[in-house]
Structure 1
Amino acid sequence: MATTAAPVMLNNVATDAMAAPPTDDYWERIYRWGPWVLLAVGTILSLASAKLLMTPAERVSALVLVAGAVCWERWWWRRDKDAVYFTGRTVLAFVLSWLNPFFVFYAFIGYFDAERLLPERWVRVGLLSTAVTMAGSQIGGLPPSGLTMWIAFGALFAINSSIAMMMLRISAREETRTQERIDAIAELERTNHLLEQAIFENEALHAQLVLRAREAGIDDERRRLAAEIHDTLAQGLTGIVTQLQAAQNTVDPVVAEGHVERAAALARRSLSEARRSVQNLVPQALEHGTLDEVLGRAVKMWEADSGVTAVFTVTGTAEPLHDDIGATLLRITEEALANVSKHAGAGRVGVTVSYMEDEVSVDVRDDGCGFDPSAGSVRGFGLRGMQSRAARVAGEVTVESEPGAGTAVSVRVPLVREGTVG
């Protein structure tokens, strides 16, 4: 929810910024109608004061120039105004203001559109030209009469120029701020687009991860069941076949009956373990004892079944282990002992459980025929299953062997105590 709201919030910010009252239409109306209105005001005031401020010849000249200004404005009405238009209007306004100071209204618009119509390097010239006309009208008309009026003209020109330059700086600052707002809005829109794209990609990635997790879970469960079947049913069936063959090959009914009873016990135990494996439960033996106790019984049972001398040893302080840790060590030990029965031809086996500060290990060593690990002769499912089981609990399995010198299988896993949340 929070991630989805982020682009919406940014979009709202951008929308609010763009929703401010637009000023372009307002200024367009000023630029279009301003010269006409100010020319009309100046003409009306000039006509009202014509008898006081103008000679008959100046009145005629003013009328001709007003007509020229009207034609000039009309000519540019449907055209894009530029520096030529500004220059012609400024000259007309200057001459009209020379004839009658009230025509200065027509010149006043130059303060507003000089920056818009003139190239950047000529904007100050246009503003100063407008300031000359304004200062001349403010002293009563050009040319100044006498030193005092010249001084007044200079002072008024300086004031008008300063005001014009200040307006130019304010305009430039506002333009900069406006451009910064536009850039910020564009950046917000770009960020919003990127966030929406990232959300879309994240949703697609999430769906892909869920699919892969489901597939990985299925694959992991298949491997778990395969390992459980191998460690329970396969080994149990092997033991049953061995016991039945022994019963078949003996002529002593008592011995044969003993083999059959052991085969039946193996069948019942294998069936029970198979059911627990399907339900993903810990081995039944671990529910009734600690790891060292269960391994001790398993070693004795293996010794009885195989006829090979087995010595079981515990080092360190025995501790109750997490179910997964105990089940992993038990299954790996059973598999290692099964491999000794099948392949080693050993006369003696030693199984050692070592409890350390943060690890627990089980070592299975035999004095059998051994093999060359680098020759790839130990690549069966048993070793792969042991390695896979150990890896599931962040452990590792190592195998050391050489021909004629026996084999040592060692599994080391973290010591995770019973009751620890996994």
Structure 2
Amino acid sequence: MHVGFLVLLAASAVRLLIRHELDEGTVAALELAAVVGLLYSAGVLLWNRAPRPVLFGWLAGVIVCWVALVWAAPSFGFAGIPLLFVALRLLPVAAVVAVAAVLTAATAAAWGVLTGFGDPMAFVVPPALAAMVVGTVVELRREGDRRKRVIADLLRARDALAESHRRTGVLEERERLAREIHDTVAQGLSSTGMLLRAADLSWESDPERSRHLVRRAAEGVHENLAEARAFVQGGAPAPLSRGTLRRALADLCRSLSEETGIEAALTCDGELDGLPGEVEAALLRVAQGALANVREHSGADRAAVSLARIGDRVTLDVRDDGRGFDPGAPGPGGGRGFGLEAVRARVAGLGGEVTVESAPGEGTGLSVSIPVREDA
């Protein structure tokens, strides 16, 4: 736009020299055109460095000098078109309308002088062009402002969504660690404490049994360390890294029987090899939690664990003949207990279902069903 103004200014000066004799009026017009060109060039040099108020004053000075130039030599009226775009670039809409009116009037008057006021287009074309240019640029500016607001909203929404995802990830990881700690470390420490208490009670009367219980407690601590390393690293549970799910469940039942005297038995049915790792891990953790409840709360004499695969679902049932409870009643502290809620969350994450059947004095049954794809 700056180059366009200077080119039109130079072209108008050449036209003035071609069409008019070099008299005092022509020389004065050329001198004024040189002043306008120098003033405009100074503004171009300061365009990206001068503050906005200075540019406002510069544009006002250019327009005033240009109007005087047009009054002296109407040929310079066409240079008003770039000035309109410069005003659109610098000024607010209300000021642009005022500048457009001044530029349009000067251009129409210059055209009228050149045509002897006999061409009605002199009074139609400049206002029409000015109106179209101003309307188009103003609408483009508004559309640009709307897009900037939309982009800003999208960026804020993106940042909020990213923060939400981060918080969700933190909460999910915290919940995962809480479940793993509850199903491994907490239960292992509880079992170790029971073994050590039993060893202390029999230390005088049966030293051999006490030593056996202490060895079992040490093995439990070692197992818990392996489990802690596994879930911190996000790997498979330690028992599954050493063998199959069937073997891990059998070891759980044997440990329960040896440590508490509760008769625990495992039955398996169906094709259980090749289950997805996350399904095996979930079933093992559920069994660990259920048998820990049998150990600590049920007062049972017998417990039965059954694992079966029927079609595209694998089921795990853990039942005991203990004291039972009311599943609808709140647990200690007014809650339902973290263990059962952790089981539900773990199984729900795999699209499975959890059923609890119990009543006071009638034992407890926990049933878990998880879908398994045939091509898993």
> Match for 1:311 among 248, 265, 271?
265
CA distance in 2, matches of 1:274, 1:112: 89
**Residue of structure 1 in register with 2:320 after alignment:** 366
Give the Å deviation of 1:28: 5.3
Cα distance change on mapping 1:303 and 1:417 into 2, 3 Å: farther
How far did 1:283 drift? Answer: 1.1
Q: RMSD of the TM alignment (CA)?
A: 3.7
Mapped pair 1:227 → 2:227: no
Change beyond 3 A, Cα 1:346–1:207: same
SS in structure 1 at match of 2:295? helix
Alignment of 1:43-192 (within 5 A): 108-109=118-119, 111-112=120-121, 188-192=140-144
Residue of structure 2 in register with 1:351 after alignment: 305
Q: 1:388 aligns with which of 328, 345, 368?
A: 345
Q: Which runs of 5+ in 1 are unaligned?
A: 1-17, 40-105, 117-170
Give, in angstroms, the shift of residue 408 of structure 1. Answer: 1.6
2:290 maps to: 336
Q: Is the 8 A contact 2:290 2:366 kept in 1?
A: yes
Q: Summarize the Cα distance change of 1:349–1:182 in structure 2 as closer, same or farther, 3 Å threshold.
A: farther
Cα deviation per residue 1:355-396 (whole Å; 9 max; x = unaligned)?
Answer: 244433322122222111122137222223223333444444
Q: TM-score, normalised by structure 2?
A: 0.61
> Does structure 1 conserve the Cα–Cα contact (< 8 Å) formed by 2:312 and 2:374?
no
Deviation at 1:324, TM superposition (A): 2.6
**What is the rounded CA distance, in whole Å, between the counterparts of 2:296 and 2:373 in structure 1?**
32
* Closer/same/farther in 2, CA of residues 188 and 328 from structure 1, 3 Å limit: farther
Q: Indicate conservation of the 8 Å contact 2:265/2:305, yes or no.
A: yes
Shift of 1:339: 0.6
Partner residue, 1:244: 196
Within 2, Cα distance between the matches of 1:348 and 1:205?
57
Q: Which amino acid aligns with 1:198?
A: V
After superposition, the Cα gap between the structure-2 partners of 1:33 and 1:195, relative to the gap in structure 1 and judged at 3 Å, is closer
Q: Does the 8 Å contact 2:352/2:371 carry over to 1? A: yes
Cα offsets for 1:111-136 (capped at 9, x unmatched): 5378x5xxxxxxxxxxxxxxxxxxxx
Per-residue deviation, 1:31: 4.2
Distance 1:24 1:313, change over 3 A: same
> Judging changes above 3 Å, is the alpha-carbon distance between structure 1 residues 351 and 192 closer, same or farther for their aligned structure 2 residues?
farther
Question: Which of 263, 266, 281 is the matching residue for 2:220?
Answer: 266
In the other structure, the counterpart of 1:286 is: 240
Structure 1: how far apart are the matches of 2:219 and 2:115?
A: 116
Structure 1 residues 246 and 211, CA gap change in structure 2 (3 angstroms):
same
Query: How many corresponding residue pairs?
Result: 276
Deviations 1:232-278 (A, max 9, x none): 22222222222222233332333333222222221221222223233
Q: Is the 8 A contact 2:240 2:248 kept in 1?
A: yes
Alignment-derived partner of residue 10 in structure 1: none
Counterparts of 1:380 and 1:270 in 2: how far apart (Å)? 22
* Cα distance change, pair 34–305 in 1 and its aligned pair in 2 (3 A): closer
Q: Report Cα offsets for 1:155-191 as digits up to 9, x if no partner.
A: xxxxxxxxxxxxxxxx9xxx79x85x87665554444
1:409 counterpart letter in structure 2: L
SS at match of 2:248: helix
DSSP 3-state at the match of 2:316: strand
Gaps of 5+ in 2: 1-83, 89-99
Asked if the contact 1:321–1:416 (Cα under 8 Å) also holds between the matched residues in 2, the reply is no
CA 1:204–1:229: 2 relative to 1, 3 Å: same
Match 2:231 to one of 277, 280, 290: 277
Give the aligned partner of residue 32 of structure 1: 109
Identity of aligned residues (%): 35
- CA–CA distance in structure 1, aligned partners of residues 280 and 349 of structure 2: 13
Shift in Å, 1:35: 5.6
- Counterpart of 1:382, as a letter, is G
SS at match of 2:328: helix
Check 1:319–1:35 CA distance in 2 against 1; reply closer, same or farther (3 A cut): same
8 Å contact kept, 2:111–2:122 = no
- Secondary structure at the counterpart of residue 201 of structure 1: helix
Contact 1:365 1:406 in 2 (8 A): yes
The one-letter code matched in structure 1 to 2:361 is: G
Q: Aligned pair 1:202/2:211, yes or no?
A: no
User: Which position in structure 2 is the counterpart of 1:6?
Assistant: none
Q: Does the C-alpha gap of structure 1 residues 34 and 309 become closer, same or farther in structure 2, counting only changes over 3 Å?
A: closer
Report the Cα distance in structure 1 between the residues aligned to 2:148 and 2:196, rounded to whole angstroms: 70
* Cα distance, 1:336 vs structure 2: 0.7
Distance apart, 1:219 and its partner CA: 3.0
TM-score normalised per structure 1: 0.55
Cα distance in 1 for residues equivalent to 2:284 and 2:165: 28
The whole-number CA distance in structure 2 between the counterparts of 1:191 and 1:31 is 31
One-letter amino acid of the counterpart of residue 328, structure 2: S
Find 1:401's aligned residue among 350, 358, 373.
358
Equivalent pair of 1:322/1:417 in contact (CA under 8 Å): no
Residues 319-347 of structure 1: CA deviation (Å, up to 9, x unaligned): 32333322222111101111112222222
